[in-house]
Each structure stands twice: as structure tokens, then as C-alpha cells.
Structure 1
Amino acid sequence: MGPARALAYLRVFAVVNLASLLWLLIGSHGGIDRNGFLVGTDFLSFWTTGRMLHGHHDPYDLAAHIAAQRAFFAPPDGFTAFFYPPVFLPLCWLLGWPGYFAALGGWLAITGSICFAALQAWWRRAGLGRHAALAALAFPPVVIVCTHGQSAFLVAGLLALGLILVPERKAIAGILLGLATIKPQFGLLVPIALLASREGQVIGFAVLGALALCALTTLAFGAMVWPHWLTLSDEARTVLDAGAVGYAKMASPFAAMRLLGASLGLAYGIQAIVSLAVAGAVGWTAWRGGYTQGLAALVLAGAPLATPFVFDYDLVLLGFPLVWLVGQGLARGWADWEKPGVAMAFAVPAFARGLAMHLPVPLLAPVLMGLFALVWRRALSQIPRSQMQGT
């Protein structure tokens, strides 16, 4: 598939994505879509948390949070849970000031801009020239983030910008990575990569950024938010184990095994094996090759595999390793299966949830593992043989 055909496919995906969003908005009445859901769905939990903080209420009081949500809108299938750590509360406090729809629009515009700025930085370094905006509009997880009002744009943008700036802007890189602790499960591979590549200075700045955010949170909302969050975290584990959020929406090996009928023990065992393998691959690559953009791509490709708690909208993270792979393919030539692997990782999130809900067939986890293997192979190919052999 040449560049002209690839651009044609991107245009088709972009048109479909934009049409889907327009269909959702046009078919909504009073902010409620055709299926009876509030536009933005998950964003309701962020906005409600902000309103509760303004009223000096505990957002981790589950019964109070449900009541606060239902005072504004009662979804047809329960409520939208809020399991974020306290460092996310300052953002929620800001989101609670405007009305719901104004806050949702501002949230998506600002976090989307951060993510797109990160994409442009990766795009330029990959030597891809134009069409970054087209690729962003065409990427299916972008639409999923928009329809859910989720935090994935912000988390992906912070991680991607932080990781790409490590070689030349260590302080900024570290602070951005520290701020990404608002969704900590996606940063599990970051300290492994930084330690193994001898980037201790970046780790120090990341710790400072995270501690500053923790201090701000504690000063603003009191020290008790931390034990309250830890107590609610037990509920989050119960929700995950029971599949209350829907395994079809999730992308982890754990969710794939549960969707196939595996026991909890077996599902967690498979997840542990995959997580350890991914962490080992990242650590070994960093130790042998040092810090490179290939390592940064490997960290982002592995992030969704390292945790059991990952959803299809979180896969906006994959845009960055995909950009790196395409740049490598155009500059150095494509290896076997790279083009199909890239195409699958790009397109499968568009229909994986629906397929998993109705068959059920979990596609996301194997596609993620395939993409990780492709990125790892490319990253290893750039390490000099003397370093691979440890000489």
C-alpha cells in the first residue's frame, strides 16, 4: 500500500468519524442521545466531582456521588464511576465551575489540543511532513474519547510529550511525566525505561512534579481525600473483577480472558505474564540501547498491555508508536507484516467493542501484543550489535 492509497484510507476514516460525531449531535435532544445517554457519558463523573468539591462534599463517598449525578442526569444503566486518584481533583474542581456542556466542550478542546501538540512533535521527528491533522481525525480512538468525554487525550499528551523530550529537555520531560500520574496505571513502564537507560535526572523531576501535584491536592482538599480514595479503590477492584464496566469495552489481556470465560485466577495469571514480559522487554531494550525515540514508542505501545484496567478510548496512546513505525518504514523500508500490523492497530478499535459485545471475540489484546512486537523489533534493530552483545 503506497502513500496515495494510505491517504485515501485516512480520508475515508476521517469522514466516517466526523459523520459519526455529527450524527450523535444532530440526533440528540437536550443533550440526550438516541439511546438515552447524556452526551459525553463518562465526563459526567468529572463534572459531578467538581460540583461536589465546590460544595465541600467527599467525591469518594460512593452513595453521595451517585446521588449528585442523578440530581443532574440519571443514566439508563446505573452511574458513571469515579475512581481517579486525588491528584485529578484540581482539574475536576475547575471543570465544576461552568455548566455541564460548556465544561465538556472546553475539556475536549483543551485536552485534545495538548494531545495534538504531542502528535505534531512525534510527526515532525518521524519526518512525515504534512497530514498530521488528517491522521488525528481519522484515528478511531479519537472519536471514542470525544463521545465519552474521557481523560485519554490529556494522559496520552502528557506521556507522549514527556517521553519525546527526555533527551534534550529533562526538567520539562520529568514534570510532564509526573503530571501524568492523574492516571497512574499507564505510567508503569516509564520508571523502568528511565532507570534502565540511566535517565535518573528525569526521574527526579518526575518525582518533584508528582509530589507538587500531591501537595496542591492535599492543601486544597485536605489530607483525608487520600484514605477515602484508597477505600474506594477496593470497590474499583470489585467492579473490575465482576465485569461491571463491561469487558467488551476493555483492551487488556485480563479482559480478553474474562470475555472468553476464563476464571479470575487464570485471567490475572495471563495478565501478569504479559505485563512482566512487556516490562522485561522495555527494561532490556533500554539497558542495551539507551534512551531513544524507539524506546519511547515501545513504552507507549506497552502501556495498555501493562495494566488490566484499560479501555478502548485509552488506545489514543497508540497513535504515537504508530507514527514512529510509519516513519521508520518510510525511511528504512518495511519489514514483513509491518504494514498489516500497523493497519490493524489503527483500524481495529473502530469495531472491536461491537464485535466483542455480540460474538464475543476479543480483538484488542492480540492486536496490541502484535503492535508491541513490531515496535520492539524495530527498536532492537537500531541498537548496534556491540551493545546487543554487551561488549
Structure 2
Amino acid sequence: MERMRTMISPGRYVQGKGALHRVGDYLEQLGSSPLFVADDLVWGFVGHDIESSLRKAGLPLVREKFNGIPSALEVDRLVDVIKQTGADVAVAVGGGSTIDAVKAAGFLAGVRWANCPTVASTDAPCSALSVIYTENGEFEEYRFFPRNPDLVLIDSQVVANAPASFLVAGVGDALATWLEARATAQSGSKTMAGGLPTVTGTALAKLSWDVLWENALPAIDAVMDNQVTPAVEKVIEANTLLSGLGFESGGLAAAHAIHNGLTAVGATHGLAHGQKVNIGSLTQLVLEGARTSDIRDFIEFTTQVGLPTTLIEVGLKSDDTESLRTVAAASTVEGETIHSMPFDVTSDDVASALASLDRFSVQVREAAKLPSPVPYTTCH
């Protein structure tokens, strides 16, 4: 498999206003006893629509509460629930944490699995892997599966009804896709799909980037008023499908490794995945020695989007040497995706790149008359 090129994808992707009203039609093609996993808040928003759709399709409704963190313990608990209920399809309803837990549990239980994202905040829904965290929220491991979800169904109106901050976080996650796929293609490293990147996977990563630079700002404005516009539909697809296919079959590199490193510091734990990934993307550009104009453009655009571009916005400081070394060490452990960069990256390299962010980013923001950074604390 070392020299094989691989492309993988979910069995079916469905997106549009009112899609949840059709969930029963799609699930009856997969099994007869679905188990829905969702937290109480999410279920309060969408449970009625799902129940109505299942009734029309003649399927039973069984729902289990998700407890918040996709930890090994939570995954094992859900495996037991799947077996006890006799479910033949595990269905995640919610954000990336719920989806990662259900994918891992569905695989271990030997059933099919489907995802119904209620936000477009990560590219987790389409992939054949789960990110597992400790009970304290620190990155623990990637778990890889031999296949992708059987169904990904996303209701655009539900996404537009959620706080705009979720869509913003998704943009941060998805913007990294092209930067990392580009680096992986240059280095000839393997992707998360288990082979070399395909031209298709790399092209989809680039398309995700292009769609977001063109549509992210008007889409965020629209969802602030809970509206679904063509720009919103495009950004949902970029965040979920294009980024999902692009990262998995195009490759991960420094940006997500640095995200994983950031989780090793408690000060970052209240932040969304995409917020931390954006710091990883910016750090990757610094590590690459990217043109100053490219780094400036990235800082200006992602600041306008509402993403952090300085350390103080993720609870760190450029002179906090101990924390930066902790992040850098965790980012560069053996097996991390940072080693897919087309050059060697050491822990010292990462620490230096992180420490250099604040001063330049603040200067860029001042010159562009953009808001000054607001320090983040876990009390937010």
C-alpha cells in the first residue's frame, strides 16, 4: 500500500433545508432499528422532526443521551447501549464530539452508522476516523475505521438556526484543509485514507479553500439572522463535505498537529476545534516561510471571519515559554501529522513559530483597522 493512491468517502451525502424531515427515508435503507445519540440540548431542537420522520417511515425511535466528550469510556458505554437495544444503525445527532463517539462505537459494535450534524463546525461527519480525548479533554489518539459513514445528512436550516460561532469554527477547520493537503502532496506522505493523496483529494481540498474565501463572510452574516442563502449552502458543503474528503484523502500536516498540541494546555480547553486549528494554520504558514503577503492576507481574512490569530485569544502568551514548549512537544511526538510536512519540523521550530505570532498579527490587525485581540480565559 506504500505507493497506492487512495480516495474514500461516505456512502451518501444529503444536504438542504428540511433534510431532517427525510431522515427516516434514508435510514430505512440501512436498517430497521436505529439508535439515535444526542445531548439534551440538541434533541430539544430536532427531536420532534426526527420522531415525525421515523413515524412516517415506520421505524422505531430509540434515543440515548451523549455525555459530552468522545472519550474511550464514553465510546465503550455507547457500544453497550447499541448491543442492549439491538440497534443495527447508530445515528449521531449533534456536533463533532457526538459524531466521533458514535462512529467509534458503531464500528466496535459491528453495526452501520450515520451522522446528522446539527452544526457545520468540523469536517468530522464524513470521515472514517474518530478523534478520541481523555476525560479531561486532552487529545489521546486517532482511531481509524475500514469504512466511512453510510450516511451523512445535514439540514441547512438547522445549521442556520445554530449560533454563528459554530459556522465560524467550521471555517477555521476547513481552511486548514488546503494548507495541509498542499504540504502532504509536496512531501509525498501518506494520508489519513492510508495511501498517497489522489489528485481528486488534493483538488477538493483546494476547492474548499476557494469556496470559503469567496463565501464565508456573507454566509456568516446570513446565519446571524438564521437565514439560508446560496452562500450558506456553499459554506456548509465546504466545511463538511469538501473539507472532510479533502483532509482525509488529501492529507493532514502541521495545522492539526498543532491543534492537538494546544489541547495539552488547560487554558485552551473551552475553545472550539476550529479556533485552535486556525492558530495551527497560521503557525504552519510561519513554519513554511510563507510570503509575508500570504500570512498578512490570512490574518486579515480569518480575523474578519471571527477566528483567533494571536496566542492571547486562545489563552496563551508569547512569553509563556513553558506552555509553548508543552504545545510544541505534543505537536511533534512520533506519529503526529506534522511529520507530513515537506521538511523536518522540531519541537523548537514549533515553539519559535508560536512565539512569533502575536506581535506580527497585532501589527497586521492595527494596519487593517481590525479589532484588537481580546484575551481568552476559560471563564468565558
Higher RCO (Cα < 8 Å, 6 or more apart):
1
Structure showing the higher helix proportion among its residues: 1
* Fold match (TM-score > 0.5): no
Relative to the length of structure 2, the TM-score reads: 0.29
Relative to the length of structure 1, the TM-score reads: 0.29
Structure showing the higher strand proportion among its residues: 2
